[in-house]
Copies of this chain bind each other. A is one copy, B any other.
Amino acid sequence: MTTTAISRPVCVLGLGLIGGSLLRDLTASDHTVFGYNRSPSAARSAAGEGYDVTDSLTDVLTRAQRCDALIVLATPMPAIPTLLDAIATHAPDCGFTDVVSVKAKVLELVRERGMADRYVGGHPMAGTADSGWTASQRDLFKGAAWVVTFDRALDDTPPPAQWVSLWIDVVHMATRVGAEVIPAQVGNHDAAVARISHLPHLLAESLAIVGDNGGALALSLAAGSFRDGTRVAGSAPSLVRAMCETNDEALLEALDETLALLNDARAHLTDERPSIEELVDSGYRSRIRYEARSGMHTGNGGLLASPRPVIRFQPGAPGWINQLAHAEMLGARIEVY
């Protein structure tokens, strides 16, 4: 049996798509959870639906400190420094996690404030093109990957017991809402999401523009490949920029690999006998590998089991940090027992 008992209440800061959905799921699972949203109108909507929510940051953090809650920073990157400062002031003993889609920059902000002993980074890989409380929903995280970082565990061996206890609670929280926890160090996380999340946005934006440049005829002829290839260009520009611009180094590496492939294809297209065999064969093999891995070939009935390998272990037991690093390398999900 996987344990999903979180040892403390949860306090969610920011009730957008991710924070709002987390609040809904934890409430539904009968875990004590309360939230805060800066915009009073969204806070009122959430309260109107019966959720325990306020629009006062001071109030919510004072309460979190009083009940030793696990604080979840569920806002985009630009709000993080302010929230960290508020936590330092009003909830100086609480452990916290976040859901920002880049992890190195957040860890840097945390370290600058000397708060690393009570921080565990997180990133749920769930989302839609919509955002805000109205987009939040039950079961958003079911089967989704939820990265939980463990860099602090590599700084000292063993890491502080207080940090290990926080780490376990973050894992339990993600598991409780149906996510699959993938452990990763911040640098490896950021390199991975640059490839599979941030780069797709750059390509989708570019494709949308080049299609649009073709005028009415091109847009009228656009079918599935254009629709799918541009879908995430419909995401709120501010969110896309926040992700990509704060992961600039890793994104540059992924972008340069892409430019090399496209420039090479370009050169081959100008040959007397144009051939893009290399790109197409290699891209096809990569996609098939991904499909096999993600279990997409199991038919229409959905997935009966997660396609990700699983590693079960006990935090704090001998070798547990090596097991984490091993799981990270495999992209495996972990189960804590």
* Chain A residues with a Cβ under 8 A of chain B: 125-127, 144-145, 147, 182, 184, 188-189, 191-193, 195-197, 199-237, 240-241, 244-245, 248, 251-252, 254-259, 261-263, 265-266, 269-270, 274-277, 279-284, 286-291, 293-294, 308, 328-332
A-B contact pairs, 18 of them (CB 8 A): A182-B221, A195-B214, A200-B226, A203-B206, A205-B279, A205-B283, A208-B283, A210-B257, A212-B290, A220-B293, A222-B294, A228-B228, A229-B232, A230-B290, A244-B280, A245-B275, A245-B276, A259-B263
Are B197 and A277 in contact (CB-based, < 8 A)? no
Are B289 and A331 in contact (CB-based, < 8 A)? no
What is the chain B residue whose CB lies nearest that of A222? B196
Are B245 and A218 in contact (CB-based, < 8 A)? no
Given contact pairs A196-B225, A283-B209, A266 touches B257 in the complex (Cβ within 8 A): no
Q: B126, B234, B252, B290: which contacts A222 (Cβ < 8 A)?
A: B290
Most buried by B among A211, A244, A255, A294: A211
Given contact pairs A205-B280, A280-B240, A221 touches B248 in the complex (Cβ within 8 A): no
Given contact pairs A203-B203, A223-B144, A283-B206, A241 touches B290 in the complex (Cβ within 8 A): no
Most buried by B among A220, A222, A227, A265: A220
Are B223 and A287 in contact (CB-based, < 8 A)? no
Are B252 and A329 in contact (CB-based, < 8 A)? no
List residues of chain B with CB within 8 A of the CB of A221. Answer: 125, 145, 147, 182, 189, 192-193, 196-197, 331
Are B195 and A210 in contact (CB-based, < 8 A)? yes
Given contact pairs A228-B231, A241-B277, A245-B275, A125 touches B286 in the complex (Cβ within 8 A): no
Most buried by B among A147, A279, A280, A284: A280
Most buried by B among A216, A251, A256, A329: A216
List residues of chain B with CB within 8 A of the CB of A289. Answer: 212, 219
Instruction: Provide the bound-state CA to CA distance between A125 and B255, in Å.
Output: 30
Given contact pairs A220-B145, A252-B269, A241 touches B127 in the complex (Cβ within 8 A): no
Instruction: Provide the bound-state CA to CA distance between A218 and B329, in Å.
Output: 10
What is the chain B residue whose CB lies nearest that of A261? B206
Are B261 and A210 in contact (CB-based, < 8 A)? yes
Instruction: Provide the bound-state CA to CA distance between A330 and B184, in Å.
Output: 51
Q: B207, B208, B232, B291: which contacts A225 (Cβ < 8 A)?
A: B232
Min CB gap A111→B, angstroms: 21
List residues of chain B with CB within 8 A of the CB of A184. Answer: 217
List residues of chain B with CB within 8 A of the CB of A329. Answer: 215-217
